[in-house]
Amino acid sequence: MFHRPAVPPLHRGRLAAAAIALGLLGTLTTSAWAGAREPSPQQRAQAPVTAVRPTAGAATPLSGYAIQSSAKVTDSPAAVSSPGYRATGWYPAGARSTVLAALIADGVYPDPFYSTNQRKIPKADFQVPWWYRSDFTVTDRTRRTYLDFSGVISAADVYVNGKRIAEAADVNGAYTQHELDVTSLVRSGTNTVAFRIRPNDPNKNLTMGWIDWLQPPPDQNMGIVRDVLVRRGGPVALRDAHVVTSLAVPSLATADLTVKAQARNDSNTPVTARVSGSIGTKTFATSVALAAHRTKTVTFAVHLDSPKVWWPAGMGGQPLYGLDLTASVNGTPSDTAHQTFGIRDVQAPLNSAGDRQYRINGRKLLIKGGGWSPDEFLRWDRTYVEDRLKYALDLGLNTIRLEGHIEPDEFFDLADRYGILTLPGWECCDKWEGQVNGDETGDKWTAADYPVAKASMAAEAARLRDHPSVISFLIGSDFAPDARIEKTYVDALKASDWKTPVVAAASDNSSPITGSSGMKMTGPYDWIPPNYWYAKREGGATGFNSETSAGPDIPTLDTLRRMMTPAELATLWKDPTAKQYHRSPSPVFNTLKLYDNALTGRYGPPTSLTDYVRKAQLAQYENVRAQFEAYERNATDASKPSTGVVYWMFNSGWTSLHWQLMDRYLDQGGAYFGAKKANEPLHIQYSYDDRSVVVLNNRNTSADQLTVRATLFNTDGTQRYDRKVTGVKVSGGGAHSTALTLPASVSGLSTTYLVRLTLTDASGKEVSRNVYWLSAKPDTLDWAHTDWYYTPTTSYADLKGLDSMARVPVSATASTSTGADGTSTTTVTVRNSGKGKTPSLLTDVHLVDSAGKPVLPVQWSDNEVSLWPGESKTLTVTYRTADLRGSAPRVRVSGWNTPERTVPAA
């Protein structure tokens, strides 16, 4: 049970991590607040016009809207929603846009991610409804027409051609799906749809909130954040097409598929429809008689021999199948449906310790994930999302957890394609858990909320069930639902043919139907030392930890200078007690006191902003590495094994100082490369608890004839211990083998010392290198005073000796090749060219343009490497050529004790 602080936080302790693409806001500005700017009537007079495709089964998304505050619209709803209405002075908005996202894109406000600009946006402007209107054209009135949508935040009255067709009481909740038959209202030519969007309050509405992840947007994300589709069809509509898969496990030799769809007669007369379909080379068909306005379920059974099985990345391929269905009446196509799906089996039983253990296609796997955050203003950018998912693969992660903020369909399409598992679920600490969440915020449910919750669950289940990347739904987060709410969810899931595990909560809770969650939410969420992760208690490496990290993740100096003023940067490194706007609105997480105290206590007080960031990257590297290494090492333990860990968070939705493995601009620092190192496919690591040196194998196949070498050095490079072990073997699938144990004491070893571990294969090639900075005086944890968000440290490891390391020159040569696919690869060789014994610790290489600005996103083969005198390392970095923006590439080399230098890389 959590030990709550006297002042309850906005959330019990969590999250961060998203970042948003460079192009998402357009050019960043660091100008002072300029005030809201009115739109130009000449530029913004009319809503965009969408040409609706006439073919049967066509689903055309509206291309965008004109929006305006209802406080500034005096015309009647009938007038606003009629074709020809002059939306003079209205703002343009994209097809998926919150109110504030549209205003930011239109330049009404300066960059809200810089400094405290967002705090200056008046909240009162968003406490009244806003109008969204859009025009669409129809050329063929013989077909039926429907509006199909979800993603309205928080509720809306809906109008078509001057008539109200739905009330806000019915169009309510961000996740509810709505299909409105507007056939009788649609005319040839131009038609108008208008939404009168109600203000959002996550504590009162079943929508989306931000808890303590970031400073919440002033409009609370009110708007329309998913596509509004105009569907066309004949008398019979096909809906709810999906495939229920049953894979033979463990043989994987056969699969039985059940194809289901709803055939609905929307006409006033009986019809007989011919429903035909195909999956690959398999075809099937049937006839179905439908009375007027009646619906029947159409079912087909399909058997596959030698099915193409979908696997998570690293465990196999990601083949996908396509289902195509057509409903015809009198030989004329009336409607079509297409669904992509994958064949795989997911099980997640509780192990003997009561922890949830996932199995994919019969094989156990350790869930290694990160908590996902969308952009703060819910702006969808496919390229930016894809870049982040590629980063997840680069980091060796296999899972993304989405607590609320369940992304659009394209997100899960990408996850399917890349083999990234997903754990979607409802969020904590607001209306979603208002009935059961103790002292957290969020109104209790009323009778009107239960149908909204059920409709939300049904809509998301129908949307997600065929995605092989989706392996569970978490119906609770910090708290499990009570019996009535759980039944509401479970009934909706069963009706939707949901087959993957349903989890009661992300915390150690249970509910009457689904039972124990098998997960824990014990933190930490703020700074703890690396040795914390090895204890099999609290947030340590045992069981399934659904969200946890050491809290702050200070971004690179490049990013800090893009997100904060010089005065704010000075406060950042000088005053640990200062409230940091870019950390969290939570009173628990709004300073960096715990983190800064540890940084000073372990590494010495920072002497400048550059020194502060330098120490932060070192600290984040060692801590993130330890978190993943501990969970990986303990995954195959006979007693209380680790079964899952979700780094809180993978990314942040804005420019943040905590909970992120990469920053908003996708720059990479110590946290990123610490995770990348820990999750290497074949990896050597040190154990903080028992000093063992372990070889861990994440590959499918075993490895043998390996050589392990462990060498201990003083910080001046003097060698004090060296041991080599040959003939090391390790099985695949996450197994580990202990090669040796370092001695408890070594003669002549300094208080602060370095450990270099190398792993070489039978040919003598180095396949893994790992360098640690340790202390003869370890960090001491005060377990007895553990709080819900951290465990106090009573004494710090003495790593101050690192500051005495001699400065070591590192030379670099680089060249670049450009591929035909629009990407370039720069190859960099770095060499420790020092004359003494001192290594270059955590040498970082950044790809920059001619102005010295980072080129992002990038994927490095390796980075933040440590080199002893005479040693060299060749690294490669791949990126989009266009991201150079016409500049010649350069590489900037720096490090803990390496003078910064930049060399050409053309």
Angle between helices 566-574 and 609-633 (to 10 degrees): 60
Is 140 part of the annotated catalytic residue set?
no
- Give me 376's structure tokens: 């703060």
Active-site annotation holder among 403, 427, 430, 547: 547
* Alpha carbons 25 and 666: distance in angstroms, whole number: 14
Q: How far from each other are the two terminal CA atoms of the chain, in whole angstroms? A: 57
Active-site annotation holder among 335, 387, 440, 478: 478
Q: Exposure of 139 by Cβ count < 10 A (0-12 exposed, 13-18 middle, 19+ buried)?
A: exposed
Q: Are 824 and 859 in contact (CB under 8 A)?
A: no
Give the DSSP letter string of 422-461. EEEE--SSSGGGTTT-TTSS-PPP-TTHHHHHHHHHHHHH
Bridge partners of residue 459, in order along the sequence:
none
Detail the DSSP E strand segments found in 780-835: 780-781, 793-795, 810-818, 823-832
Q: Are 111 and 239 in contact (CB under 8 A)?
A: no
- Give me 849's structure tokens: 């343009």
* Alpha carbons 906 and 903: distance in angstroms, whole number: 10
Residue 890, φ and ψ in degrees, nearest 5:
-140, 160
Q: Are 797 and 602 in contact (CB under 8 A)?
A: yes
Report angle CA 258, 261, 267 to the nearest 5 degrees.
Answer: 160
Is 355 part of the annotated catalytic residue set?
no
DSSP 3-state percent helix, strand, coil across the chain (nearest 5): 15, 35, 50
Evaluate the omega torsion of the peptide bond into residue 854 and state whether it is cis, within 30 degrees of 0.
no
* Alpha carbons 385 and 328: distance in angstroms, whole number: 38
- Give me 282's structure tokens: 């398999």
Longest dimension (CA), the chain: 94
**Minimal CA–CA distance to 390: which of 414, 426, 371, 421?**
414
Q: Report the DSSP pairing between strands 346-347 and 189-197.
A: unpaired
Bridge partners of residue 18, in order along the sequence:
652
Q: Reduced to 3 states, what is the DSSP secondary structure of residue 461? A: helix
* Alpha carbons 824 and 853: distance in angstroms, whole number: 17
Active-site positions read 478, 547
